[in-house]
Structure 1
Amino acid sequence: MKKISSIVLALIMLVNLAACGGKNTKSNDPNIGMWNAVSASMLGVTQDIVEVFEKGVSLELKANGKYNLDMDGKKASGKWSYKAGGLSLSGSGLVFTGNVENGILTLTNMLDMGLDLIFEKKGGHPDTVLPSARGDAGYYIVDRAIEDGEKIAGSELRDMGFDYYVLLNEDGTAVCQTDDLATGTWIKGVLSLHNDQGDSATINYTIKGDELTIDWGGLIIIYVLSNGVPPTPTVGTVGAGGLSELQEWWDGDWYGYWEPHSVSEGYEHLDDGRWDVFAKIEINKDDTGVIYLWEDGEDFAKVNITVSEYGLSDKGAAVSESGNYWNGYEIGHADWIIDPGIYNYENYMVIDGRYDDDEGDGFNYVVYLRPWGLLWNDIPEDERPPWYEDWYLDYYNDSDSMLEAIQNSGSYVHSELADTLVIEKPTPSVPSGGVATEKPTPSASSSGPMEASFEMGDFIISATLPGQGWCAKNTAFGYELYQVKSCDDVYSNSPRISINIDPDKKKFDRYSNDFENVQTIKNRTIGGIDMTGRTYKFVGMDWIEYIGMLDSAHAVSVNTSKIDISSGEGSDVIDSIKFQANVATDDVSGERVSSGNVSALLPDGWKVYPVWDLWAEKENTPDKDKLKFNKFAKSEDDQHVTPGLEIRYYGMNSTFIEPGKDRFDEAKDWGPVDIGGRIWKGITGISWESPQALIWTKDGDDEFLVAILLEYGGKKISLQDADVRAILASIKAP
C-alpha cells in the first residue's frame, strides 16, 4: 500500500496544473464541505488510512465547483461535479470517480489500480443512514469456521476457548471479540477497530442473510445473528500515562529475591543461598518494554519484553524478546515466559531461567517479585526476601519510590539507572527472612590463573595455580596445593603438592624408616633453589619429594603425590613456586590513624588522605568507614600520582559483595594468605593501564576490603612488602 501511495502522489501532482474554474454549485449542496479519508482498500485488503498515508487524506468540495485535495501533506486542486450519486474529480486531463452513498464518499479504482479511498464528512452528512437501516446491525456469534478447507463447528471453537462474536450497534459503534477485545465503528462492509494496546485495524466483512463472514488471514469465521444479550465490553481503561490497566500493572518498581537450584560443579558455593533483588519495569503503549533487574552490588539483567493478555489471569503474561544477563550472556525470545496467573499469590510474579558459563557450569535461577510498596504478609516467612523484615519494612513506606529508598540507604542501583553505585546497605547479621549468603559474581570463564600465597615462618610461599581444578589450603602438614575442583572436596588421598619449611632439615626424614621403595632422582630447581629428589611409597601413596635449603637456617620440602609434574599443569605449578623472605611487620614503625570506624598503622614514609562521604549532606565530609594511604607522597596532589591503598570497612550495618574478576584485565585470583592472623584473598590485574589489587578479609562480623594501586609513575609497592603487610595486619574496627 505504501508503494501505491507513492504512485498516487506522483500522479496527483498533475492535477495541480488544472486550476480552471467550474460551474457554480448550489451552496446548499450537502456534499459541500470537508471530507476525511478513514480507510484505503486494494485487492481485498482494507487498512486504516494512516497505514497507507501517514499524514492522512482530506478532500474539500467547494461551493464554486473546485476541490482541494491533501494527500499525505501533498496538495492538489481541480474541479468536481456530482450527478445521480456519481462523483467526478478532474484536473490536468486526469479523472477520479466515485460515489456518495448513505453519507459515505468513496473514490473508486483510482488510476485503474483497484485502489479505493473511503471518506466520512466532517460534521456529518444529512444522508447518512444508521446501520440498522442498512440491515447489518446486530449481535453475531461464531457459528463455524473454515481453515485450509477443513470445517470446524462453532461448538468445537467454543470448547477450544474461541468464544468470538461481533456486535454492530445501531449508533455505528462496534465491538469485536477475538483473542483480543476491540472496539470502534462500522460502516457497511467495514469495521474500524482498536484495542487497549493501541493497535488499530480495518476489517472487511460480508453479510448474507443472517450470516456475517470475516476472513482472519486464512481462518474464515462465519458468525450467525443471535437473539441473545450481547456481553458487556470489558476493554481495559487507560491510565493517566496512556497505559491500559494491564500495562500499568506491569509498569513500575518491583522488589523480591532470587535463589539458585540445580547447581553444577563450580558453583556449589551458591547452594542454599538467597539474595534480595530489585526490578524496574518500563512498559510502552505498544506492549513492548524492558526489565532492569539487579541485586545489591551488581546488575542481574536488562531484558526487552512484550506483554499481552494471553495468560492464566487478568494480569496477562510477558515474554522476553532480547537482552543480556550476568557477564553479557544473551537472553532471547521466550527464554523468559512470565505468567503471574500460575501462582497462588496476588500481585506476584516469578522469573526463571538457566545460567551457564563458558565452561558449561551453571545453575538454574528463580526470581520472585512483588510490586514495591506491597507487604508480603500473605506469604510464608521462608518465602520472603532475606532483608524484608529488617530493611524493606523500614524503607518502603518512607520514600516516594524504590529508587529513592535505595539511594537513601546508600545501596546499589542498576548501572543504567544511576550514575553513582554504592553497595552499602543496612542489613542484619542474620536476616530474618532467610539466609543472605555472600555470593561471588558468576564468572564468565573460570580458566584464569590464581595466585596462591601464604606466610610460613620467616618466608612467604607463593604459586600460580590454574583457575579451574586446583585449590590452596594451609594445613597442619604444610601449605597444600590440591588438584581438586574445590577444597571442600579434599580427602586424605587427594592429589597434592605439599610445601613445608623447617629449621631442621632432618625433620623431613623423621618417617623415613617407614618409607618403601626409596630411590634417588635427578635434582630440580624450584623457586631458585637447587633441590635433591627422591621417590618412595608412604601410607599407601607414591610420593616425589624435593628437599633444599632456603638459607643457612631454613630447609624446604616440596612433596607431590598423584600429580604428573613431568609436564602439563603439575609441572607449571611446581615451576611457579617462589619463596620470599618475610620482613617482620613488627619492625615497621609509624603511627595509628583512624577515620572514625576503622583504623590502621600509617608507616613512616606514607601519607594519609581523607576519603569524602559522597552521601553526606555537607560537602567534604570525611567517610568514617574509609582510610586512604599513599607511599612516596609529599603533597596533596601526590595522592593521584603515587601507589597506595584505600581501606574500606563493612560492619553490622553494611553488606560486602566480593568483587568479580571482570574488574580487571589479565585478572588473577590471589590468596588465601594469612596476614596478621586473618585470612586474606582477592584478585590482581590491570586497570587503567596500571597494576592493581582488590583483597578482602573477614574478622567476626567485620569485613574489610583494600583497594591497592601497585604501581604508578615508576614507583611500586607489592603485596609482599613489609610495610604493606604491616598495614593489613594492623587494620581494625572500633
Structure 2
Amino acid sequence: MEGTMKKTKTKLLCLLLAALMLLSLTACGKNKESTDKALADSNLLKLGDYELLYKGACIMEDSDGNDAVVLTLDFTNNGEDSHSYLWSISETAMQNGVELAVAIVYSNPDSYDATVIEDQFTDVAPGVTLEIRTAFVLANTTSKVEVTFEEAFGDKNGKITIDPSTLSRESAGSGTAQSAGTGDALLDWWNGDWYGWWIMTGCSGYYEDKGMEGAWWDICGAVDIGADGMGTVILWDGDYTKSEPMVSASVSLSGNGTSIYGTMMSEGGSFTDIALEHADWIVDPGLADYGDMIHIDGDYENSGDEFHYDIYLRPWGTYWVDVDEEDLPDLYDTWYLPLIEAGKPMPDSLDSDAPESNLGGNTAGGDGIVTEEQVQKGYVWMNDVNKNIFDTTYEEVVAYFGVEGEFVKEEYSDHMKANYRYYKWISADNDSHFIYVNFKEEETGVYEVSGFNTSGFSGKEAIAKYLDIVKAEAAEENKAASANAAMKDFSAKVAMFAHDEINITIKTTVPDSGWSYDEGKCCLVENDDPTAFGAGSIRFEVRKKLEDFDFYKEKFENYQDIEDRVIGGITFHGRTYKYIGYEWIEYIAQIDDTRALSIGLRNMDCVQGTMPDIILTNMKFQ
C-alpha cells in the first residue's frame, strides 16, 4: 500500500520542532503555566488586525426547517479603522468534504426582521470587541464540521472543528449558544475515538525474515486528555482489543505547533512490548497530509528486531472522501462505512461485525467517463445552478452528463433507514478528477441526490471559470421547456406583517407542476415541495412606503441598480445584491398611497423567456 502518506515524511521538521519545543517548554507536560496558557489560547484565532475567540456552538433550526450549526465568537478589531466582521473575515464550513451553505436562522421565530448573524454587519471601532454569531446548514448532525476563517484582504487564517453530535439544541431567541464537550476546542478536537491504519517499513531481524516489510493493518484508538494537558492514548488493531491494546501511551498536549490543534507528545507507556519515552512521539496535525488527521510515527527496536511504524488516524465518523484510494484503510468500505452509516459507535475490537445490508435491487451504471470540461461544469451545475439538486434523480443527473455514472457501491443505512448508491463521473483526461455523488432511495426504485463532492480539482476554480457559461446553458434549456409548459392560474393575498388590513392580491400564471406556494413565507418556490432546501423562489413583501424596503440597504453586499421593469402596468425599480448568504434580484414599487410591494427573486435568474420571466410578465395586482 504505497500511497501519498507513506511518501511524504517530514523527519527533519519533526526533529527541529522537537528541539524548539524542548527549549520553549523545558520539560513538555510538566510546565503547567505554559500548558494552561496554550489551552486557554486554543480557541483564539489571530487573523492580522483581527482576533476571533470561539466561545461555543449549538444547533438551531433554520428558516427552511433544516438543522443549522450556530457558532458564537468574540470579534476584536485591532486595526486603525472601524470595520464590521462581515467585511473583515471570510468563512468557509466543510463537512465530509462538502462546503456548507450559510444558514438563515431568525432571532425571533415570530418575526422575519432579524437573523442571528445581524451583528456581523455592525461596524466595530478600533480596540473594541463585539460578540457575533455565524450559522451554516448541516448535512447531518453526526459528522464533524471544520470552519476556516480568513482575512478578507490578507493571507492569515485559522480553523475551528466542531462535533455536532455533542452540541445542545436551542430555539430562536434563547440567548447565546452554549459550548458542549469540555468547552475547549483544542481538547474537544483531540478527545474521542479514532480510526485508520498503520504500516511497517524498514524491517530487520525477525520482521524482515517474516516478510513484514510494507505490511499494514486497520487500527482503532481512543484519546483522553484532561484540562491540565496530560492524558492517555490507546490503540488496537485486529490482534488486540480496547481492553488489551497494542499501544498504551501517556501523553502531553501543547497549544504550540503548525496549526491551531497544537502538538501531542508521548511521555511514557508502551508500544507492544517496548517502552515509550518522552518525545518518542511528536504529533502535529498541521503536518498531516489531510485535514482532520493525526500521523504518529516511531521506531521499534528489540534485540536486533526492528521496524519503523507510521500510524494514520481520523476521528471516528469521518468520511475519507478526500483521500486517495490507496490511502484508505483496508476495512474502510466493508467494515467502517457500514458502521458509521448505521450510526454505530466504534466497537472495542475490529472483529465486530458490520450491520448487514438490505439493498434495493439491481443497480445501473456505466463507465462514467466524460470530458474534463464536463466534470467541472457538472460540479458548477450541481453546486450553483441547479437549485433543486437534492430533488434531482439519478436519471436526471445521467441526462445532464449524457452517460451513466460509474457505480461504486450500494449500502443500506440502518440509521437513516434507507438505501444509498454511490457513483462517479470521471474526467477522460485525468481519472483522478471526478465528481462523487451519493443517491438516497426516497421511494422504491427512485434515487435522488443526497450529497456530492469533487476530487482532484478545485471547485472554486471551476465556478470562477464556468459559472456564467453553465447559467447561460441552463437558461436556454429553461426557455425551451417554458415555451411549451402547461400553465395554470395563481392567486395569493399578501399582507403586511402585523397589519392584515394592508394587503395586495397577486395574480399570475405558473406551471401545472414544478412550482408551489409557501403561504407562511409568501414565496412562489421552484419546486413541488415549498420547503425544499436551496430551491429558488419569488418572495412577495408588502409595506406602507417604498423607502421601508431600504431598512437594511446598508447591509446589502454587491449592491447594483438594474433596469426598471413594468409589471402589471406599474414601473418597478430593479436592483441586485447579496444578503444573508443569498443572491437577490428585487423589484420594488409604490402601488398606491398606502401600499408598496417588493418582488424578490432569491437565488434565481430572470432571463427573458425563462419561467421566472414569464411569471413576472403575466403578473397583475389588486
Q: Which has the higher helix share?
A: 2
More strand by share: 1
- Give TM-score, length-normalised by structure 2: 0.28
- TM-score, normalised relative to structure 1: 0.24
Larger Rg: 1
